[in-house]
Amino acid sequence: MSDSPDDPDSDGLSSPRLPAAMLRGMVLLLGLMPLSSRARTSLDLPLPPGWDVEQRDLNLYEDPAPAERELRVTKGFPTSVELLDGRVDLVSTTMKGARGRIELSAKDGELLVGMIDHLEPGERVPLSVAYLDGGRVELTLVKAGLVTDVWLRVRRSPEQPL
């Protein structure tokens, strides 16, 4: 394994780290689980030293700062966006600048963001998640540091319980 930027299996981190084949296997296993169980349980995966995953809530009615609307993503770790007071409209959900490196899918009203390739440091990919009722939530995908978001729960109204 090499940390060379030309190495397709390099994650840009210094050793020790998980081999790319092991990460691909974990993603395959995650893909076999129903989205709801994958999103609602803490990831029980062997992470490189210093790494962590996070599950967050985004309350749109509180007018969150732009940094709170960032979705920290990592190749090999899917991120679920759960719309607590609506269902995702995958057809109307848009993304700019992904160039085939990010895969979006929907299941049970949730959006799943799968990283096919890494984002560059400092790169920002606008993601406009559409609700079936016509509403939208504007998020920005960014390269995760040592913390990767695996689950973001979005609420438009304080009346919707967590």
Calculate mean pLDDT across residues 19-31.
42
Per-residue pLDDT at 2 exceeds 90 = no
- Cα(38)–Cα(4) distance, integer angstroms: 32
Calculate mean pLDDT across residues 29-38.
40
pLDDT at residue number 16? 36
Digit-coded pLDDT (tens) for 35-80:
333 443 345 566 667 888 899 999 999 999 999 999 999 888 899 9
pLDDT at residue number 44? 56
Cα angle for residues 147, 97, 129 (degrees, 5° grid):
70
Digit-coded pLDDT (tens) for 146-160:
899 999 999 998 886
pLDDT at residue number 90? 96
pLDDT at residue number 51? 82
pLDDT at residue number 146? 87
Digit-coded pLDDT (tens) for 94-143:
999 887 899 999 988 899 999 888 888 899 999 999 999 999 999 999 99
> Sheet harboring 70-73: ordered strands across?
70-73, 136-143, 124-130, 94-95
Domain definitions of the chain by residue range: 20-155
Digit-coded pLDDT (tens) for 113-126:
998 888 888 999 99
pLDDT at residue number 100? 86
Mean pLDDT score across all residues of the chain? 77
Is 154 in contact with 79 (CB distance < 8 Å)? no
**Who has greater pLDDT, 25 or 53?**
53
